[in-house]
């Protein structure tokens, strides 16, 4: 790591330690005003004449199902370990941006089903240090944060994040309303996007404890047929707009792999045009998930269909095979893009970027009937 990068990372860590706990009275950073020319990653969210946007996944965790976590332990990281992990994060981010990533999605707590929850203090320490370091090194990068904690989501926006990737699947009116200063209520601000995901796997509960954390309680998954997924996504979007969030700032995610069976995941991919027909940009989050492995190198299709009633779960033990699911991930991208998906959240950025650009060129070259 260069001396300049070391100094930047050290400064980010010192600033973060000085803000624990972060003062709740600090004024929010106003959302940037719409520039004459929008960044390409923002234009791609709604401009169908462009290829779908690529979002590179940065797992600042130790227990990602995909086996690419940048931390060695889920315990509180020492300053030295955190600094070293941030260096690795910056190298991966640079690789993603050079390979064609339009957005970077950073998460400091694993959202893998069954993963141990991370306390607010440690997630804050990791996530805000990561966001600060990323924007210090790559000032023009479009950053999304994957967090389930209300206070941390707002703090990440104040650090420069532009999108909240919310996997809770819950109506969170208080959180959504609090993002107004960061552009969520403005169709023309270049910040304030909210990803709303369908999730029946866990019951989300707001925690009113002093730390302001959140708790998750596993529950029996419900059936996730396409019609019920569409109904729930419509309900979430309507509630979000109801507190003032601009329609243009809402992105929908079908929640593949979250409380859904093998067959239901495949059905949703085939029905993606129905998700797009709801009138919001949609995000595909299928990369390296276990139901794709059952289609290719981890089992025959017939074997997978024989157990189609079982709910697909991402586990730590799945990481050994997850990196071998590229073909399935690209096939999922092809189906979703054909159905109108505008944002593809992926681990394999270089391969997906080349694939999607080629797919877009081929589709654009076909005369319309």
> Percentage of the chain with pLDDT > 70?
70
Q: Nearest-5° angle of CA 106, CA 107, CA 110?
A: 150
Give the helix/strand (H/E) hosting 269: helix 262-270
Is 64 part of any domain? Answer: yes
Contact 142, 162 (CB under 8 A): yes
pLDDT (0 to 100) of residue 297: 61
Cα 63 from Cα 301, distance rounded (Å): 28
pLDDT (0 to 100) of residue 51: 96
Is 19 part of any domain? Answer: no
**Intra-chain end-to-end CA distance of the chain, in Å:** 54
Can you tell me the mean pLDDT for 335-339?
97
pLDDT digits (tens, 9 = 90+) for 276-287: 999 999 999 999
CATH number, position 110: 3.20.20.20
> Percentage of the chain with pLDDT > 90?
52
pLDDT digits (tens, 9 = 90+) for 173-223: 999 999 999 999 999 999 999 999 998 764 444 333 333 444 444 444 455
Is 182 part of any domain? Answer: yes
Instruction: Annotate 137-195 with DSSP letters as a single string.
Output: H-TT--EEE----HHHHHHHHHHT--EEEE-S-S--HHHHHHTGGGTTT-TT-S--EEE
Is 192 part of any domain? Answer: yes
pLDDT averaged over the chain?
Answer: 80
Residue 203 three-state SS: strand
pLDDT (0 to 100) of residue 70: 54
Q: Which residue has the higher pLDDT, 260 or 277?
A: 277
Domain that holds residue 257: 52-364
Among the residue ranges 208-217, 224-233, 327-336, the one predicted with the least confidence is 208-217
Can you tell me the mean pLDDT for 132-158?
95
Is 224 part of any domain? Answer: yes
- Flag whether pLDDT at 272 surpasses 80: yes
Percent helix, percent strand, percent coil in the chain, to nearest 5: 45, 15, 45
Q: Which residue has the higher pLDDT, 290 or 232?
A: 232
Contact 323, 66 (CB under 8 A): yes
Is 306 part of any domain? Answer: yes
Name the domain count of the chain. 1
- Flag whether pLDDT at 113 surpasses 80: no
pLDDT (0 to 100) of residue 210: 31
Instruction: Annotate 207-236 with DSSP letters as a single string.
Output: --STT--EEEEE-PPPP--HHHHHHHHHHH
Structure tokens at 356: 């999607």
pTM for the model: 0.80
Can you tell me the mean pLDDT for 80-90?
83
Q: Which residue has the higher pLDDT, 52 or 38?
A: 52
pLDDT (0 to 100) of residue 307: 47
Task: Count CA atoms closer than 13 A to 369's CA, side-chain side.
Answer: 0
Is 22 part of any domain? Answer: no
pLDDT (0 to 100) of residue 293: 84
Pairing relationship of beta strands 214-218 and 202-206 according to DSSP bridges: antiparallel
Cα 300 from Cα 297, distance rounded (Å): 8
Contact 171, 239 (CB under 8 A): yes
Is 14 part of any domain? Answer: no
- Flag whether pLDDT at 20 surpasses 50: no
């Amino acid at each position: 790591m260069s001396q300049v990068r070391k100094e930047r990372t050290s400064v980010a860590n010192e600033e973060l330690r000085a803000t624990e706990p972060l003062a709740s009275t600090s004024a929010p950073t106003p959302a940037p005003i719409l520039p004459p020319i929008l960044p390409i990653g923002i234009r791609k969210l709604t401009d169908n004449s462009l290829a779908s946007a690529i979002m590179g996944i940065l797992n600042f965790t130790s227990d990602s199902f995909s086996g690419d976590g940048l931390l060695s332990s889920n315990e509180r990281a020492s300053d030295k370990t955190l600094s070293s992990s941030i260096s690795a994060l910056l190298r991966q981010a640079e690789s993603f941006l050079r390979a064609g990533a339009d957005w970077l999605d950073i998460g400091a707590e694993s959202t893998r089903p069954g993963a141990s929850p991370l306390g607010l203090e440690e997630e804050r320490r990791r996530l805000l240090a990561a966001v600060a370091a990323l924007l210090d090194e790559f000032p023009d990068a479009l950053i999304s944060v994957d967090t389930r904690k209300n206070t941390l989501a707002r703090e990440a926006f104040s650090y420069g994040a532009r999108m909240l990737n919310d996997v809770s699947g819950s109506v969170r009116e208080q959180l959504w309303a609090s993002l107004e200063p960061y552009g969520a209520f403005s169709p023309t601000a270049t910040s304030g996007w909210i990803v709303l995901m369908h999730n029946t796997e866990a019951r989300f509960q707001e925690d009113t404890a002093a730390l302001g954390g959140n708790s998750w309680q596993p529950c029996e998954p419900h059936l996730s047929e396409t019609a019920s997924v569409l109904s729930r996504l419509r309900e979430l979007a309507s509630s979000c707009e109801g507190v003032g969030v601009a329609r243009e700032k809402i992105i929908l995610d079908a929640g593949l792999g979250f409380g859904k069976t093998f067959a239901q995941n495949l059905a949703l991919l085939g029905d993606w045009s129905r998700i797009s027909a709801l009138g919001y940009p949609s995000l595909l989050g299928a990369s390296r998930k276990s139901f794709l492995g059952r289609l290719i190198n981890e089992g025959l299709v017939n074997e997978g269909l024989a157990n189609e009633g079982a709910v697909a779960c991402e586990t730590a033990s799945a990481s050994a095979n997850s990196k071998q699911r590229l073909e399935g991930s690209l096939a999922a991208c092809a189906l979703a893009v054909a159905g109108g998906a505008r944002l593809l959240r992926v681990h394999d950025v270089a391969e997906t970027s080349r694939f999607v650009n080629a797919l877009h060129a081929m589709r654009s070259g076909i005369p319309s009937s």
